[in-house]
Amino acid sequence: MFEAIANVLKIPDLRNRILFTLAMLAVYRLGIFIPAPGVDRIALSEFFADTQGTLFGMYNMFSGGALEQFSVFVLGIMPYISASIIMQLGQVVVPRIERIKAEGQSGTKKINQYTRYLTIGIAIIQSFAISFSLEQMKTLGGTDVVIDAGWGFRLMTVLTMTAGSCFVMWLGEQITDRGVGQGASLIITAGIIAAMPAGARNLLQKVSIGELSLLTTVLLFGFMFLVTAAIVYVERGQYRVPVQYAKRVVGRKVYGGQSTFLPLKVNVSGVIPPIFASSLMMFPATIGAFVPHPLFEALSTAFLPGTWVYNVTYIVLIIGFTFFYTAVTFNPVDVADNLRKHGGFVPGIRPGKQTAEFLDRILMRLTTGGAIYLAVVCILPTVLVSAYGVPFYFGGTSLLIIVGVCMQTVAQIEGHLLTQHYDGISEKKSRGGRRKLQTQNQQK
């Protein structure tokens, strides 16, 4: 481990990328503590003490506590992620966006620009909704969260939150371009990890006052370890489809004829389905908290985390989003056409339509297993929350994000190390070749 860290620090480019990533994350965490105007933060903290299991509690977790402190980074990276998902879906549904994507690098730049514009629009809508919701918030003692409600507060909140979201989006893009890892994912992970010390402290307080026994706490951490191991095992799992490339004779040289494989991940959709499902499941409880109507109150009670209605609906949503997002991100027909164009084929399967059908059958089985895995990982911690009162940020969605992003970042660092290793070998070979040529010229 220490040798690997030393190898990383020896490479100037990789070292600079890691330091740049850490600096950008530090700027993001610093912005979390810059307050926005117009809110009584003591009253807001008291309100959030009762929001575990609602949309506000979940959004506060993903923002790293920015919503609880009413920071300038309240919206965080979530508007950008929502815009990215909408643009990805648009590439399949809207023909014009699909044609722009087919333009290559210039089309990618246009889509990225449209994503930024859409991020601003989503941030404006969300910030207005949050400002309106804050005006309705009251603590149990009847204290208003907003000091001076009105359009002045709403416009100031929209301007502050939208500017903060655009800055966080810029930080994420800088990390992706000049750092290590995917910027948006690292920002979300940093927010979740920052909330974990408070969760651990609350857990220790419950143990000290006798709400949780020591044995239960040990079993809880053992369960978290097993869930983390299962996530690592499944996220690294893949099904390798054998691919054979036909031989081509060009002049006196023979090209192709090699055997390789097409890797298909067990969980193609990643962590997107649990995030979508969690957002939808939090709406009934959140609406019931603000709309004093018997219907909404009944829905809020029925969809409390831990109830059978909540668990069944949550599982159905996760499975449905898993199949939907996999179908959007992986197209067997395109993969089969690319294999055929490059002279590749699956042994025993005809190129073209039959290959696409074969890949689709395999993908359907993998997606079924991946959907069950996501549902189990996300629903078991919810049962623990309802049974033992474990903080929300110890849930399966949080572990999925943290473990998945860490694995992705480590894989990118290993890729940089491998590239530098091959560069070093190439440099040695070129130097050796030059020396050999100089020696032969001297002998002549």
CA-nearest of 343, 400, 397, 291 to 58 is: 397
Instruction: Pick the range with the lowest mean pLDDT from 51-60, 200-209, 435-444.
Output: 435-444
The residue to which tokens 């600096």 are assigned: 23
CB pairs under 8 A, 24+ apart, for 143-149? 143/40, 143/43, 143/46, 144/40, 144/43, 145/39, 145/40, 145/43, 145/44, 145/47, 146/38, 146/39, 146/40, 147/38, 147/39, 147/40, 148/38
pLDDT surpasses 80 at 375: yes
Pick 293 or 444 by higher pLDDT: 293
- For residue 390, what pLDDT is reported? 54
Give the chain's length.
444
Q: How far apart are CA 302 and CA 374, in angstroms?
A: 23
Q: How far apart are CA 290 and CA 129, in angstroms?
A: 13
Q: For the residues 64-81, what does the mean pLDDT come to? A: 75
Q: Do domains 1-196 and 216-407 have the same CATH topology?
A: yes
pLDDT surpasses 60 at 429: no
Structure confidence by residue, pLDDT tens digits, 154-195: 888 889 889 988 999 999 889 988 888 888 888 888 888 887
HSE toward the beta carbon, residue 22, CA cutoff 13 A: 6
Name the band, by pLDDT with cuts 50, 70 and 90, for residue 102.
confident
CATH of 216-407, one of 1.10.3370.10, 3.20.20.10, 1.25.40.10, 1.10.3720.10: 1.10.3370.10
CA-nearest of 181, 373, 362, 389 to 274 is: 373
- For residue 395, what pLDDT is reported? 61
- For residue 227, what pLDDT is reported? 82
- For residue 353, what pLDDT is reported? 86
pLDDT surpasses 60 at 425: no
- For residue 389, what pLDDT is reported? 54
Domain ranges of the chain: 1-196, 216-407
Q: For the residues 44-55, what does the mean pLDDT come to? A: 58
Q: For the residues 192-210, what does the mean pLDDT come to? A: 78
Pick 185 or 304 by higher pLDDT: 185
Whole-model pTM: value is 0.74
Q: How far apart are CA 71 and CA 48, in angstroms?
A: 14
User: What is the percent of the chain with per-residue pLDDT over 90, rounded to a whole number?
Assistant: 3
Name the band, by pLDDT with cuts 50, 70 and 90, for residue 427.
very low
Pick 431 or 146 by higher pLDDT: 146
CATH of 1-196, one of 1.20.1260.10, 1.10.3370.10, 1.10.540.10, 3.40.50.300: 1.10.3370.10
pLDDT surpasses 50 at 267: yes
Name the band, by pLDDT with cuts 50, 70 and 90, for residue 437.
very low
Reduced to 3 states, what is the DSSP secondary structure of residue 195? helix
Q: How many CB atoms lie within 10 A of CB 249?
A: 9
Q: For the residues 350-355, what does the mean pLDDT come to? A: 85
- For residue 434, what pLDDT is reported? 47
Q: For the residues 403-427, what does the mean pLDDT come to? A: 70
- For residue 167, what pLDDT is reported? 92
Antiparallel, parallel or unpaired: β 259-265 and 253-256? unpaired
